Amino acid sequence: MASTEALLPVTSRQDPLSESRSDPITETRRRRPIKVHLAIYSGLLLIALYVVLIVKHDGSTTQNGADKTTTESRARLAGVSEKSNDERLWRFSGDRTTEAFPWNNSMLSWQRTAFHFQPEKNWMNGPLFYKGWYHFFYQYNPNGALWGDIVWGHAVSKDLIHWLYLPFAMIPDQWYDANGVWTGSATFLDDGSIVMLYTGSTDKFVQVQNLAYPEDPSDPLLLKWTKFSGNPVLVPPPGIGAKDFRDPTTAWKTSAGKWRITIGSKINRTGISLVYDTTDFKTYEKLDTLLHQVPNTGMWECIDFYPVSKTEVNGLDTSVNGRNVKHVVKASMDDTRIDHYAIGTYYDSNGTWVPDNPSIDVGISTGLRYDYGKFYASKTFYDQNKGRRILWGWIGESDSEAADVQKDWSSVQGIPRTVVLDTKTEKNLVQWPVEEIKSLRLSSKKFDMTVGPGTMVPVDVGSAAQLDIEAEFEIKKEDLEIILGDNSVEADGEFSCETSGGSTVRGALGPFGFSVLADQSLSEQTPVYFYVTKGKDSKLKTFFCTDTLRSTMANDVVKPVYGSFVPVLEGEKLTMRILVDHSIVEGFGQGGRTCITSRVYPTKAIYGATKLFLFNNAINATVAASFKVWQMNSAFIHPYSAEDLSVPSRT
């Protein structure tokens, strides 16, 4: 490969150290002043800044039989993925010549979520952490509901739930980010100051890393940002493609006192994480070793690297290392749109990481995932205010691009989750919605029901579009003993939620759970359920699944069955939690050992017609269910004002 200098304009070949760390940074862009003057406010600043690259489409139009256009989309030119549901949509509907579903405004308006973060309109995604308030910097297209003119949107919150939209944080106004201000990560330096590294797509669609600082460090809202005059600070190294070098992580401290970052890339079909050391975030030393690599996994993007405690349930700062610490490597797989992670050991001396179990390494199809549904380009940050690590994921759409354009928005953020090592299994992470989500709980009802085989029971909670459900299930002991001791009950084969055929396929011990976002006739419903199998060794194995096959009458929607195995330890009851918020359903099995997020687009089960059902579709088992259901309030996410921010205006 030719020298990477050839990728850059001659005017950019300057020494980033030409200005010392203490000198004021030459400002390459100033935002227009904000009208409301805000005083200093201390708190917790979270920079939720991870930027997701979308699910690809081919830049074509095929309306009314028209030929595909030959114009390449901007995302394809930039080397990232867009939304590409078209072929899958028609494959699921069974007939590519069938016209798309005739959505109306009433249906589309109902889909907008009430307590998940999303912009007022158009396309968005992204998260990470900062100091002070919680901040959310996200990739946003102000000009449309699809991937395109990417800027950094900006929102703030005091509780990770109630968000206020702020003016844009950064826009693509320099040659080194002319085609987009992409994923970035914030790092707190020893003196408390903040640096932000982000990927820019240049005017030639080359992916480079850039440096930015808050213009006014005393401003708790970080309204203005300054781009370093020596940008870019990193360009693709020899052997790395111009479009395969993106998404720098939060930096962590090495034992030698340097800062270290990793950046996603690939060499042929091997996904890799490059490692760089720096002392000033302007100049970098590339390590000869890779943090990690896995063959046949393709491009790694939105890499994350962080420590987890083996003994405690609290989160750890990114720089923590030691005997009772394991490290997580997570990568978003550009080829499959899946976030994979693995747990292993980090070696500070040479900047490498080794998985505990190579058979479930990062990116391997049988490996661990944060979420087995619609969940991508996730990012964690350490919340020093509450001593926890927060995971945030971007939830794309499963409908058509035409529907996104019609409703004038696309994609949401999942509810922020705490993430820790499962100290009971020591083999997986546990995720759980942040405690602040409970502030939205309104009225509640508690239920204790016993449901026999083949039973569907309505649950009287009124309208069921915004719910928080916590439940535990127990299979009747006598039924279990009969099935386990009866040799005539054959062992289940290799069960898979994805290929099982959904919740209508009955087994001896499942499925059983809830049908959410259902209409009264059950013509539309989304079951979230457990399925227990009997292995050849006569031991039980439990799966947690979500079935969207009957979630909508619409044909232009991807409707898979999601799910995976969930560990259930001796003496544990089966437990699940479900958050329902209009077009998004988040399920947490066994305290968050297995998580599933899905997008759902009912045409009948909307507004007051949305119902909740409890079901048991097992052949041989009676199930006892004890559960509580809360109606959920809206988070009322809206543009900021001085009153909202609780900061008095200066006179």
The string of pLDDT tens digits covering residues 556-593 is 999 999 999 999 999 999 999 999 999 999 999 999 99
pLDDT, position 81: 58
73 has pLDDT over 70: no
Tally of CA atoms within 13 A in the half-sphere of 506 that contains its CB: 11
Confidence of residue 146 (pLDDT cuts 50, 70, 90): low
User: Dihedral through CA 277, CA 21, CA 5, CA 148, nearest 10?
Assistant: 90
Confidence of residue 75 (pLDDT cuts 50, 70, 90): low
Strand, helix or coil for residue 400: coil
Q: In angstroms, rounded to a whole number, what is the distance separating the alpha carbons of residues 311 and 326?
A: 10
pLDDT, position 587: 98
- The residue type of 560 is P
Peptide bond into 119 cis (omega under 30): no
Helix (H) or strand (E) holding 345: strand 338-347
pLDDT, position 618: 96
Alpha-carbon radius of gyration of the chain: 25
Q: In angstroms, rounded to a whole number, what is the distance separating the alpha carbons of residues 232 and 650?
A: 37
> Which comes out higher in pLDDT, residue 187 or 29?
187
DSSP result, 453-466: TTEEEEE--S--SE
> Which comes out higher in pLDDT, residue 170 or 90?
170
Residue 312 · residue 319 · CB < 8 Å: no
DSSP result, 171-186: ---SGGGTT-EEEEEE
Q: In angstroms, rounded to a whole number, what is the distance separating the alpha carbons of residues 434 and 345?
A: 27
Q: In angstroms, rounded to a whole number, what is the distance separating the alpha carbons of residues 566 and 562?
A: 13
The two most distant CA atoms of the chain are separated, in Å, by 83
pLDDT, position 59: 32
47 has pLDDT over 50: no
49 has pLDDT over 70: no
pLDDT, position 640: 87
Q: In angstroms, rounded to a whole number, what is the distance separating the alpha carbons of residues 648 and 549?
A: 52
Q: Give tens-digit pLDDT for 333-371.
A: 999 999 999 999 999 999 999 999 999 999 999 999 999
**Which residues have CB under 8 Å from 545's CB, separation 6+?**
497, 500, 503, 511, 527, 528, 529, 530, 531, 561, 562, 563, 596
Confidence of residue 285 (pLDDT cuts 50, 70, 90): very high
Strand, helix or coil for residue 111: helix
Q: Give tens-digit pLDDT for 490-527.
A: 556 689 999 999 999 999 999 999 999 999 999 999 99
89 has pLDDT over 50: no
- Tell me how many degrees the CA angle 177-181-184 measures, rounded to the nearest 5: 120
pLDDT, position 237: 98
pLDDT, position 7: 37
Q: Which is nearest to 647 in space by CA: 175, 16, 27, 43?
A: 43
pLDDT, position 492: 64
User: Dihedral through CA 288, CA 294, CA 297, CA 303, nearest 10?
Assistant: -60
634 has pLDDT over 70: yes
425 has pLDDT over 70: yes
Going by their DSSP bridges, the two strands 300-309 and 352-355 should be labelled as: unpaired
Tally of CA atoms within 13 A in the half-sphere of 613 that contains its CB: 22
Q: Mean pLDDT over residues 97-110, rounded?
A: 89
Q: Which is nearest to 290 in space by CA: 252, 262, 311?
A: 262
Confidence of residue 642 (pLDDT cuts 50, 70, 90): confident
> Which comes out higher in pLDDT, residue 29 or 592?
592
The full length of the chain comes to 651
pLDDT, position 572: 95
Q: What share of the chain is helix, strand, coil (3-state, %, to 5)?
A: 10, 40, 50
Q: In angstroms, rounded to a whole number, what is the distance separating the alpha carbons of residues 457 and 412?
A: 31
Strand runs (DSSP E) across 115-258, as ranges? 122-125, 134-141, 151-157, 163-170, 181-188, 194-201, 207-214, 225-227, 252-253
Q: Give tens-digit pLDDT for 461-485.
A: 999 999 999 999 999 999 998 888 7
Tally of CA atoms within 13 A in the half-sphere of 451 that contains its CB: 26
DSSP result, 37-84: -B----S---EE----------S---GGGPPPP-PPPHHHHHT-----
Residue 429, by phi and psi: left (phi above 0), alpha (psi -120 to 50) or beta? Answer: beta
Q: Which of 65-69, 386-390, 452-456 has the lowest mean pLDDT?
A: 65-69
1 has pLDDT over 80: no
277 has pLDDT over 90: yes
The encoded tokens of residue 151 equal: 């800027």
User: Dihedral through CA 237, CA 238, CA 242, CA 247, nearest 10?
Assistant: -30
60 has pLDDT over 60: no
* Residue 633 burial class via C-beta count within 10 angstroms: exposed 0-12, middle 13-18, buried 19 and up: middle
54 has pLDDT over 90: no
pLDDT, position 494: 83
In the chain the first and final C-alpha atoms are separated, in Å, by 59
The encoded tokens of residue 585 equal: 């359903």
